[in-house]
C-alpha cells in the first residue's frame, strides 16, 4: 500500500545555521529522494529575485505540491501599529504563492507573545498570558487571511510554536473558532506539541473538538537537556514517539501532509532529508505488515 500522506520537505534542512543551499538544489534534493512537495521559508512578497528562483526551481524539480511558512506579528501592545501592514504582507505572500502553484498551502502562525519570551516553562508565555485584546487582534488577522485564502483558492493551517500566542492546539482552536475560519485548519508541530508543558498528551490533543479538521503535521524530534529546554534530533533519535503519533493519526484517517523538518541538525542535508523520508515510510510499512504493531490500531 502506498504511503497515505503527501511527504513535504521543509526549508530548514538547507538554510540558516551556518549554511545556505541554492534554491534549485533544495528542491532538487526533495525530488531526488522522492518527496511530493516542498515548504518555503522565509519569502517576503517584494523579493522578486527569490520568488523567481523559487518558481524556476519548482518547475524544474517536477514536485507537485508547494507551501510556505509565514510568521506575522501585530498582536502585542507594542506591535499593534504594524497589524494592518502585517495582514497585507501575508495576503501578498499568498498572491505570489498562488501564481506559482494553484491550490498551494499557507502554513501560518503569529509570533507575538503576550508573555515572557525565552522562559523554559512555556505556561508563562504565549496564549497563557493573552488578554481579550490580544485574542481580538488575532481574530481580526485570521479572519482577513482566511477570506483571502478562499478568494485565491489556497489551503491554510495554523502552526503551534512555543513562545507564540499560537502555541498549543487549544490556542489554535480558540483562534479559529473566534475568527469563524472557513479555510484555515489546525496544524500540529510534533516538536512544539511535545515540549510545551501546558500541552496535553498527543491522544488528548487530538481528542479536542475541532482537531478532527487537522490539516497539517510537521515532524522533528528532540531531547530535553538540563541546561536548555530542548535539543533537536533526527526523527528516529529523540524523546518524541513519532511512530506512535503517526499510528494514531492514521487510525483517525489523517491524510494531510506530513512535513519533515531539520531545525539545527546540520550535517549532510541530503542524508538528513533521506533519513527522515526512509524512517517515515518504514513506520507505515511496519504497520501494514503487522497492524498489531500500531499501538492505536
Per the prediction, the chain carries an average pLDDT of 95
What is the pLDDT confidence band of residue 16, given thresholds at 50, 70 and 90?
confident
User: Up-side HSE of residue 109: CA atoms within 13 Å toward CB?
Assistant: 27
Residue 2 maps to a domain: no
What is the CATH number for 73?
3.20.20.150
What is the pLDDT confidence band of residue 67, given thresholds at 50, 70 and 90?
very high
pLDDT at 272: 95
- pLDDT of 22 > 60? The answer is yes
> What one-character-per-residue DSSP string does the chain give?
---SS-EEEEGGGTEETTEE--HHHHHHHHHHHT-SEEEE----TT-HHHHHHHHHHHHHH---EEEEEEEE---SGGGGGGHHHHHHHHHHHHHHHHHH-TT-EEEEEE---SS-TT-SSGGGSGGGG--HHHHHHHHHHHHHHHHHHHHHT-EEEE---TTSSS-SHHHHHHHHHHHT-SSEE-EEEHHHHHH-TTSPPHHHHHHSTTGGG--EEEE-EEE--SSSS-EEE-TTSSSS-HHHHHHHHHHTT--S-EEE--TT--S-HHHHHHHHHHHHHHHHHHHHH-GGGSTT-
Average pLDDT over residues 244-269: 95
pLDDT at 126: 96
Can you tell me which residue has the cell 522578486?
A: 48
- pLDDT of 54 > 70? The answer is yes
Residue 146 maps to a domain: yes
Candidate from 54-63, 131-140, 164-173, 232-241 with smallest mean pLDDT:
232-241
Q: Give residue-wise pLDDT tens across range 195-216.
A: 999 999 999 999 999 999 999 9
Q: Give the count of domains, the chain.
A: 1
What is the pLDDT confidence band of residue 266, given thresholds at 50, 70 and 90?
confident
pLDDT at 229: 63
Average pLDDT over residues 121-127: 92
- pLDDT of 242 > 80? The answer is yes
Residue 77 maps to a domain: yes
Count of residues in the chain: 297
- pLDDT of 85 > 90? The answer is yes
- pLDDT of 127 > 70? The answer is yes
pLDDT at 231: 80
Domain range holding 240?
7-293
pLDDT at 241: 97
Residue 148 maps to a domain: yes
Average pLDDT over residues 41-60: 97
Average pLDDT over residues 25-46: 97
What is the pLDDT confidence band of residue 182, given thresholds at 50, 70 and 90?
very high
- pLDDT above 90 coverage of the chain, percent: 90
- pLDDT of 227 > 70? The answer is no
Q: Give residue-wise pLDDT tens across range 86-102.
A: 999 999 999 999 999 99
pLDDT at 226: 59
What is the pLDDT confidence band of residue 75, given thresholds at 50, 70 and 90?
very high
pLDDT at 137: 98
- pLDDT of 12 > 70? The answer is yes
For the whole model, what pTM was predicted? 0.96
Residue 1 maps to a domain: no
Amino acid at each position: 500500500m502506498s504511503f497515505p500522506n503527501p511527504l513535504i520537505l521543509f526549508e530548514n534542512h538547507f538554510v540558516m545555521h551556518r549554511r545556505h543551499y541554492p534554491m534549485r538544489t533544495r528542491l532538487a534534493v526533495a525530488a531526488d529522494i522522492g518527496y511530493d512537495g516542498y515548504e518555503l521559508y522565509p519569502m517576503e512578497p517584494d523579493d522578486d529575485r527569490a520568488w523567481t528562483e523559487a518558481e524556476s526551481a519548482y518547475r524544474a524539480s517536477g514536485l507537485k505540491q508547494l507551501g510556505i511558512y509565514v510568521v506575522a506579528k501585530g498582536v502585542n501592545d507594542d506591535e499593534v501599529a504594524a497589524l494592518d501592514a502585517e495582514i497585507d504582507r501575508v495576503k501578498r505572500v499568498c498572491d505570489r504563492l498562488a501564481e506559482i502553484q494553484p491550490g498551494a498551502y499557507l502554513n501560518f502562525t503569529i509570533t507575538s507573545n503576550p508573555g515572557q519570551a525565552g522562559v523554559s516553562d512555556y505556561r508563562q508565555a504565549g496564549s497563557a498570558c493573552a488578554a481579550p485584546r490580544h485574542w481580538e487582534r488575532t481574530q481580526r488577522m485570521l479572519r482577513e487571511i482566511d477570506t483571502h485564502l478562499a478568494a485565491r483558492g489556497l489551503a491554510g493551517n495554523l502552526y503551534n510554536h512555543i513562545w507564540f500566542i499560537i502555541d498549543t492546539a487549544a490556542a489554535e482552536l480558540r483562534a479559529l473558532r473566534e475568527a469563524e475560519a472557513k479555510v484555515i485548519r489546525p496544524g500540529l508541530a510534533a516538536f512544539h506539541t511535545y515540549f510545551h508543558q501546558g500541552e496535553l498528551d498527543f491522544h488528548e490533543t487530538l481528542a479536542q473538538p475541532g482537531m478532527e479538521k487537522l490539516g497539517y503535521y510537521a515532524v522533528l524530534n528532540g531531547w530535553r537537556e538540563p541546561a536548555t529546554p530542548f535539543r533537536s534530533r533526527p526523527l528516529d533519535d529523540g524523546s518524541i514517539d513519532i511512530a506512535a503519533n503517526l499510528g494514531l493519526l492514521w487510525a483517525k484517517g489523517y491524510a494531510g501532509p506530513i512535513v519533515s523538518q531539520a531545525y539545527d541538525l546540520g550535517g549532510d542535508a541530503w542524508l538528513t532529508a533521506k533519513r527522515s523520508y526512509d524512517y517515515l515510510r518504514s513506520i507505515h510499512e511496519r504497520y501494514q505488515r503487522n497492524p498489531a504493531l500500531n499501538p492505536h490500531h
